[in-house]
Structure 1
């Protein structure tokens, strides 16, 4: 066999082996898919609830169903979310239904499951993260739910939270008005801070989400121990401690801390501060969020995958050079 045939065989084998390595490596950057099965009827609400943006055309609604993995539309309860819902739940906005594009599929789960959010179209939900949705939804009173979000075109994604409220409303589960308004404030504030810091070295959106969870937990613990709400000084200390715990103290600015102080001053005035249900849901969410710490590159380094791939290509090169010696 001549040297060129040997090189070709070596390269083909190398590519095949690389494919095998990649196939067993963790899917670090791939978004998880939702676990709502629409081929059967759910027992909690009777059916999962599909809340589609009122600004969608009939064809876009069908496209959204596919994006959300709705295999059988007859097995879901479908309802539109409109601008009037935005005004009704949040007492804000112009009531413009045309702007309601992002949609959700919501399934009520067994007690203790927690709130899980999956974004099926991360390329079109341009700002809000899965855990920002979950964190805000818990503030509003959402519990034990599987939520899948999708959009047929690029949107910020903020209106999807209203769709979640609509799903609970049409299934007879009333959410507290004040908590819904604070949850929307939370979503807007945390998203704004995350966007402002997205390109900064040392910023990790998962760690920021975890910091928000810890602030809520510490405020609840302080209220339980002292029997009274935190002072402004307490809130600032708790925020700074949570940022430090998550290595964000040198990233988040004082102006942004002031924004968080204003948010959590309102948060602790709601019934969420005393809710055992909120405490349980936050613990579940925290477990999920902490599993996402670190970016894909760091995860690859930590797993040793980059070193393995580097050694692999080094061995390929040595083999090729050896053919010419």
Structure 2
């Protein structure tokens, strides 16, 4: 009997050890390079070298992203790619056990050829799509918006047994289109930066996850609107984002909630890490924003506005007295 208990104990220990090993093995996998199908052989070699050098890896697997890939992953959100669409932007996906989602847009032969999607937009989209803990390196041999690289990220996860939810990918692509459009519209505004917007969006996701009890309760559009307004205000965007853009962001957040993204146990933590990382990457900007967002400054600005209003009122009263 004693020997039986010893044997069972050894089996239990072995089972625990094997279980822990299996979970750990599922957390990471061999890095994957996703190469655009339109690249020439010379460009493929250059892209491969650029990505591997940036990630400091050499033993990577490869897959090709083509027009069919774009149709599958990007068209449901409103894009109009075809099987014949060209793909040049490429990615290297390095799955990690921790650290959140990190994106580096790597210059190709000294030039950043990703023209539309910013690194923080890639990060927010990856979060919405269900990506957790990954280093993503993006590059392109020609000037291009960068959609093919993001589609490649989705394929890389699917190839490694972590197929992402299609509704979340759809929401992620809507997010890229929405945020890139808002950034393009406000790029000449001295009080605006893409980092402010993406930090606000990451904060919205974190707040939505908290207030919905990790997606167990559905938030009303009014509740989501309040979250959006709060984060825009915290990031000094309340007077920059117009009503149409605010509506776009609210609709996006509703779509993210409906996609089921909030139900992930990792979503809130990943969103929090993303916001912290964005702030750390532009510390001076966010320190300045916090300084501007004080009661003293708000009172000062209010006094200026009151003085302006009183000035024009005095002019109106003076003109009226002449009549």
Instruction: Answer 1 or 2: which has greater helix percent.
Output: 2
Inter-partner Cα distance in structure 2 for 1:199 and 1:105: 32
1:54 touches 1:97 (CA, 8 Å); kept in 2?
no
Q: 1:114 aligns with which of 72, 95, 100?
A: 100
53, 62, 69: which is aligned to 1:78?
Answer: 62
Q: CA deviation at 1:198?
A: 1.1
1:198 correspondence with 2:187? yes
Larger mean Cα displacement after TM superposition, 83-92 or 284-293: 83-92
Residues 1-325 of structure 1: matches in 2 within 5 Å? 46-70=29-53, 75-92=59-76, 93-110=80-97, 112-121=98-107, 123-224=112-213, 228-293=217-282
Unaligned runs of 5+ in 1: 1-41, 303-325
Cα distance in 2 for residues equivalent to 1:187 and 1:65: 25
Question: What's the CA shift for 1:85?
Answer: 1.4
Partners of 2:128 and 2:168 within 8 A in 1: yes
Q: Check conservation: 1:207, 1:293, Cα contact below 8 A.
A: no
Deviation at 1:270, TM superposition (A): 1.9
Residue 25 of structure 1 corresponds to none
Matching residue of 2:308: none
| C-alpha displacement of 1:98 | 4.2
Note the alpha carbon deviations across 1:70-119, whole angstroms, 9 max, x for none: 59997110110111112222444333454211000011111x32111100
Take 1:205 and 1:262, find their aligned partners in 2: how far apart are those partners? 19
Tell me if the contact between 1:214 and 1:242 (Cα under 8 Å) persists in the aligned partners: yes
Partner deviation per Cα, 1:96-149 (whole Å, 9 max, x = no partner) = 454211000011111x32111100026211121111101110110111111100
Say what the alpha-carbon RMSD is for the aligned residues: 2.6
Closer/same/farther in 2, CA of residues 74 and 116 from structure 1, 3 Å limit: closer
> Is the 1:49–1:78 contact (alpha carbons within 8 Å) kept by the matching residues of 2?
yes
SS state of the match for residue 100, structure 1? Answer: coil
Instruction: Please give the secondary structure, in 2, of the residue aligned with 1:265.
Output: helix
CA contact (8 A) 1:90 1:177 kept: no
Give, in angstroms, the shift of residue 293 of structure 1: 3.2
CA distance in structure 2 between the partners assigned to 1:132 and 1:171 by the alignment: 24
Asked if 1 retains the 8 angstrom alpha-carbon contact of 2:214 and 2:264, the reply is no
Unaligned ranges ≥5, structure 2: 1-24, 292-323
Measured after TM superposition, the shift of residue 184 of structure 1 is 0.6
Moved over 6 A (4+): 71-74
Kindly indicate whether structure 1 or structure 2 has the higher relative contact order, using CA contacts under 8 Å at least 6 residues apart: 1
The offset of 1:227, in angstroms, is: 5.2
Q: Is the 8 A contact 2:200 2:231 kept in 1?
A: yes
Aligned-partner Cα distance in 2 for 1:154–1:144? 28
What secondary structure sits across from 2:277 in the alignment? helix
Report if the CA contact (8 A) 2:106-2:137 is conserved.
Answer: yes
